């Protein structure tokens, strides 16, 4: 499904709507979007146009997302460190 054919939820008072993680998981547009961390909140963005914020994640789900993002960042840092070490050993 391309993002151009996807119907995203309407903005409320000129702001992206707030959705819970459970609602996001079930949303028909979930497949064309991803969660990102911006300006001290979690938002849902269009993967083809990441500047387009589709929704905001309910603050009640912040703890869950904090854990997920912390784990993902640690994995990323660990992988970069491992690759750097391997490249240094090849020299």
CA dihedral 18, 29, 23, 76 (to 10 degrees): -80
Say what the pTM is.
0.76
- Give the tens place of pLDDT for each residue, 35-78: 999 988 999 999 999 999 999 999 999 999 999 988 888 888 88
List the 41-46 sheet strands across, edge first. Answer: 18-19, 53-57, 41-46, 33-38
Helix %, strand %, coil % of the chain (to 5): 50, 25, 30
């Amino acid at each position: 499904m391309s993002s151009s054919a996807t119907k995203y939820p309407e903005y409320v008072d000129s702001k992206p709507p707030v959705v819970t993680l459970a609602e996001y998981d079930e949303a028909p547009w979930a497949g064309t979007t991803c969660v990102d961390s911006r300006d001290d909140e979690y938002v849902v963005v269009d993967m083809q146009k990441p500047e387009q914020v589709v929704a905001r994640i309910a603050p009640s789900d912040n703890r869950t997302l904090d854990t997920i993002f912390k784990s993902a960042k640690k994995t990323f840092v660990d992988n970069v460190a491992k690759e750097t070490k391997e490249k240094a050993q090849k020299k």
